[in-house]
Structures are given as structure tokens and as C-alpha cells.
């Protein structure tokens, strides 16, 4: 077993939820590989740090308060909710809304990134059409033939333009089963408006299917080309993965070619400031935060505030706070976060690769496992979003502001 495989399995290995053979193999590997052993030790340490967190109890009188509220509920409300999973249906809606928003932002971002690349000519005509089908619930059964449709399909530039391929979502591409990922509809709507489209007749999808707009929904022009595109599925995931890589780079570096910045160190500053104030200056600070792109968070017992400051605004923000009261800097240090930055990038690439593998697996199987793979895919995409956020956050300096 390679180190990489071993590391993927360390978490289930720790919990003893892998096969005996794998268990043996990993034990043998750990005995001889100091790097993986170190990795495993860190994992154990992390788990024990979490396990050691104390159990908490609510303030006194909690059960009485709950009881009073429960008694006060009108009788019909006590009965109305269905068992088991309250909130699950509404959850579905919000996942879809979030996905829709993500698709929109993503498309918008791409459109912006395209400025200055060789193929912006059609950007203005881009149509984003996303279908949000309201499912009635989950249907566990998987239909036989449909899951061969890929969720996302690459439209290989029919104009012969050799620039980066455009991603487009094919027609009724749908994986059956609970919570499917679904591309947009081929019916191009030139108004460019996000419009919920009706399920195409004859698409033969089980009723009550839960569909979800794919996050990768980046339709380009020529969208209406044909359903036939869906057959080109196999080379797609790779392109998607590469695309993700490119996108993450662009997000990370703006539209500047990476080569010119790659070697640059990422420096952020971390400071603890004490502000001696006579009155409540929180409105001023909120105002300052809004103007300088600072993110605020409540922190440590109310007397302090955590500020995430864009690197270039740091001086400006600190100077502005001098006007609010007597400011003392009790701790200030600079950190080179280049390595973490690279780590996030690497992780992002790994995730893109995992995604690719899953997409391929999904395509090959036709299959009762499909919804499982989908869940993992959704997980991975969520994780990618997170890593991207970290990547952008990495460029922020942190100020811990304590009020005196």
C-alpha cells in the first residue's frame, strides 16, 4: 500500500471500521513508515483533544422552561408534524437555493475571469438556465438506464475555438435516487433570467425525485446544440477537474498570471490591540469594517472583538482606530502563511481529483450505489468551497481588539 492510500484510510482505521486485511496492511505499513506513523499520531491527538471537551449542561430550570413551552403549544400543532425528520424538506429547498446561488455566482465569476482571455466574445450572450425541481421526497429506487447521463458535460467549442473548453450543463441529465445533481435544461432562454423550467415531457424521471442544481452549472452560448453531447461523458470529469484547478488559481491570484506571483511570500499580521474608550464605539467600528472590507466576529466573552482585515487595509484600519480612543498595541507579529496557502491549494487540487474519480465511478455504475456517490460528491464540493474560502481568508490579517 502506498502512503497516500494509507493516509486516506487512517480515519476509518482508527475507528476499526475497515476490513481485517486492510487493517493488517495499515498496521504493517505504520510499523515501517515514520511519516505515516506521525500522521496517525496527529490524528489520534486531534481526536482525543475533541473527546476531552467536557460535557456541558444548560442553565438551571431548562427542563421547566421547555415543559412550559410544550404545554403552551396548541393541541393541533402538537400533532401536525410528521415523524422523524422535521425540517428535512425545507432543508432540501435551502440546499437547492444555495446551489442555485452558487451556480449564479460561479457563472458570474467566470464571466469576469474571462475578461482578457481569448474567448470573451460570447460572454455577453451567456445564458444561465437552471432548473430547480421541487421534489416531493426521497425515492430510494434507482431507475435502470438514466444514470448514464453525466451531470456536467463539456461543450467542446463547436466554433473550433481552441481556448479552454466551456462547461455546459446538458439536458435532462439526472441521476435518479434521492438528492440528485442535475444540470440545466437545454432550452436556452435568451433573456438570461434564472427561470425554473418545467420537467421535459418524456424525460421519464420518477416522480418525487429530488433534484438539485449542479454547482458546476456554467452554460455557455450554443447551449441548445443537442442532447447528443451527453454521450461524450467520459472525458468530461477530467476537464472539470482541470477547470477547477484553473479556477481556484484564478480565484487565488486574481487574473494575474500565477507565474509572476507564485514565488511571492504570503505575509499576514496578527495583532492584539487594546482600545481605551469612554463610550460605546461599536457603531464606529462597524462603520469602519464596512468601509474597509473587514469581517467582524464576536469573540471571547464579549469584551473583545476579532477582526479579519484585508492585508492592504491593515495600516489604514489601525490608524483609524487611533481616532476612537487610546490605542495600545500589546502584541503584533507577522506570519508567513505561504506554506498554509500552498496547503489549501494542494488540498483543493486533491479534492478536484477525488471529484473526478467519483464522477467517473458514477458514470460507470448504473447503480444502487449512485446516491452514495452523489452524497460524497456533494460533500467534496462543499469541502472545495470551504478550501476556497480559506484560501481567500488566508490573505487577511487578524486583529484581536480588546475594549478597556
Partner 1 sequence: MQPSDDILVKRVKDGDMEAFELLVRRYENKVYTMAYRFLGSHADASDLAQETFLRLYRSLPGFRGESSFITWLYSVTANACRDEIRRKQRNPVVSWENEVIEGGGQTVSLTLGRNRIPTPEEAAEQNELNESVQRCLNELPEEQRLILVMREIQGLSYEEIAGALKCSLGTVKSRLSRARRTFRDTYGSKRELFGQYSRLAK
Residues 235-274 that bind partner 1 (CB under 8 A): 270
Q: How far apart are CA 364 and CA 139, in angstroms?
A: 21
91-110 positions binding partner 1, by CB under 8 A: 91, 94
150 CB contacts (<8 Å, ≥6 apart)?
170, 173, 230, 233, 236, 237, 359, 363
CB of 359 to partner 1, least distance (A): 15
Among 27, 62, 276, 332, contact with partner 1 (rule: CB under 8 A): 62
CB of 300 to partner 1, least distance (A): 6
286-325 positions binding partner 1, by CB under 8 A: 286, 296-302, 305
Contact 337, 230 (CB under 8 A): no
Total residues at interface with partner 1 (CB under 8 A)? 75
Among 157, 189, 353, 372, contact with partner 1 (rule: CB under 8 A): 372
Q: Which three cell numbers stand for residue 403?
A: 475594549
CB of 101 to partner 1, least distance (A): 11
Among 21, 31, 32, 80, contact with partner 1 (rule: CB under 8 A): 80
Among 2, 4, 84, 140, contact with partner 1 (rule: CB under 8 A): 84
Element (H, E) at 167: strand 166-168
Among 19, 57, 144, 191, contact with partner 1 (rule: CB under 8 A): 57
Q: Which three cell numbers stand for residue 1?
A: 500500500
Q: Does 17 bind partner 1 (CB under 8 A)?
A: yes
User: Cβ closer to partner 1: 87 or 124?
Assistant: 87
| Piece in contact with partner 1 (CB under 8 A), picked from 63-71, 108-116, 129-137, 257-265 | 63-71
Among 4, 21, 32, 77, contact with partner 1 (rule: CB under 8 A): 77
> If you ran DSSP here, which 8-state letter would residue 311 be given?
G
Contact 175, 151 (CB under 8 A): yes
**Which of helix, strand or coil describes residue 154?**
strand
User: Cβ closer to partner 1: 45 or 323?
Assistant: 45
Q: How far apart are CA 133 and CA 343, in angstroms?
A: 38
229 CB contacts (<8 Å, ≥6 apart)?
153, 155, 168, 170
User: Cβ closer to partner 1: 180 or 371?
Assistant: 371
Among 58, 140, 145, 190, contact with partner 1 (rule: CB under 8 A): 58
Among 66, 112, 203, 329, contact with partner 1 (rule: CB under 8 A): 66
Closest CA to 26 of 13, 44, 43: 13
CB of 323 to partner 1, least distance (A): 21
Q: Does 35 bind partner 1 (CB under 8 A)?
A: no
350-369 positions binding partner 1, by CB under 8 A: none
Among 35, 86, 108, 332, contact with partner 1 (rule: CB under 8 A): 86
Contact 402, 236 (CB under 8 A): no
118-177 positions binding partner 1, by CB under 8 A: none
Among 70, 193, 207, 256, contact with partner 1 (rule: CB under 8 A): 70
Q: How far is CA 27 from CA 7, 11, 45, in A?
A: 12, 13, 18
Among 43, 111, 195, 242, contact with partner 1 (rule: CB under 8 A): 43
> If you ran DSSP here, which 8-state letter would residue 142 be given?
P
Q: Does 88 bind partner 1 (CB under 8 A)?
A: yes
Closest CA to 153 of 100, 226, 99, 97: 226
Among 4, 15, 115, 198, contact with partner 1 (rule: CB under 8 A): 15
Q: Does 343 bind partner 1 (CB under 8 A)?
A: yes
Q: Show the DSSP H helices in 182-300 as ranges.
A: 236-253, 282-292
Contact 43, 9 (CB under 8 A): no
| Piece in contact with partner 1 (CB under 8 A), picked from 20-28, 126-134, 243-251, 335-343 | 335-343
Pairing of strands 166-168, 153-155: antiparallel
User: Cβ closer to partner 1: 124 or 301?
Assistant: 301
What DSSP string runs through 18-38? Answer: S-HHHHHHHHHHHHH-HHHHH
Amino acid at each position: 500500500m502506498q502512503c497516500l492510500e494509507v493516509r486516506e484510510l487512517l480515519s476509518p482505521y482508527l475507528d476499526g471500521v475497515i476490513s481485517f486485511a486492510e487493517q493488517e496492511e495499515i498496521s504493517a505499513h505504520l510499523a515501517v513508515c515514520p511519516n505515516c506513523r506521525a500522521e496517525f499520531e496527529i490524528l489520534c491527538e486531534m481526536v482525543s483533544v475533541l473527546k476531552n471537551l467536557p460535557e456541558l449542561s444548560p442553565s438551571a430550570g431548562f427542563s421547566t422552561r421547555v415543559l412550559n413551552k410544550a404545554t403552551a403549544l396548541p393541541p393541533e400543532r402538537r400533532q401536525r408534524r410528521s415523524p422523524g425528520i422535521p425540517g428535512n424538506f425545507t432543508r432540501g429547498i435551502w440546499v437547492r437555493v444555495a446551489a442555485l446561488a452558487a451556480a449564479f455566482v460561479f457563472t458570474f465569476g467566470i464571466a469576469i475571469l474571462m475578461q482578457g482571455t481569448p474567448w470573451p466574445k460570447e460572454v455577453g450572450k451567456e445564458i444561465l438556465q437552471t432548473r430547480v425541481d421541487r421534489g416531493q421526497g426521497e425515492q430510494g429506487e434507482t431507475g435502470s438506464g438514466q444514470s448514464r447521463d453525466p451531470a456536467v458535460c463539456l461543450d467542446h467549442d463547436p466554433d473550433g475555438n481552441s481556448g479552454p473548453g466551456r462547461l455546459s450543463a446538458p439536458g435532462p441529465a439526472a441521476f435518479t435516487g434521492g438528492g440528485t445533481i442535475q444540470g440545466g435544461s437545454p432550452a436556452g432562454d435568451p433573456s438570461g433570467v434564472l427561470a425554473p423550467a418545467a420537467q421535459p415531457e418524456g424525460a421519464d424521471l420518477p416522480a418525487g425525485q429530488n433534484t438539485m442544481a449542479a454547482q458546476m452549472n456554467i452554460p455557455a452560448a450554443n447551449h441548445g446544440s443537442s442532447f447528443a453531447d451527453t454521450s461524450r461523458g467520459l472525458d468530461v470529469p477530467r476537464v472539470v477537474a482541470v477547470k477547477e484547478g484553473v479556477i481556484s488559481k484564478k480565484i487565488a491570484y486574481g487574473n494575474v498570471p500565477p507565474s509572476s506571483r507564485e514565488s511571492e511570500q504570503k505575509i499576514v499580521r496578527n495583532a492584539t490591540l487594546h482600545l481605551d474608550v469612554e463610550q460605546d464605539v461599536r457603531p464606529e467600528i462597524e462603520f469602519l469594517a464596512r468601509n474597509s472590507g473587514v469581517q467582524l466576529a464576536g469573540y471571547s466573552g464579549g469584551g473583545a472583538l476579532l477582526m479579519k482585515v484585508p492585508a492592504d487595509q491593515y495600516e489604514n484600519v489601525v490608524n483609524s482606530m487611533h481616532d476612537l480612543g487610546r490605542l495600545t498595541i500589546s502584541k503584533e507579529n507577522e506570519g508567513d502563511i505561504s506554506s498554509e496557502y500552498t496547503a489549501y491549494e494542494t488540498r483543493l487540487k486533491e479534492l478536484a481529483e477525488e471529484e473526478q474519480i467519483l464522477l467517473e465511478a458514477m458514470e460507470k455504475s448504473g447503480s444502487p450505489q449512485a446516491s452514495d456517490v452523489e452524497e460524497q460528491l456533494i460533500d467534496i464540493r462543499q469541502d472545495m468551497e470551504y478550501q476556497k474560502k480559506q484560501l481567500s481568508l488566508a490573505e487577511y490579517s487578524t486583529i484581536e481588539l480588546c475594549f478597556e
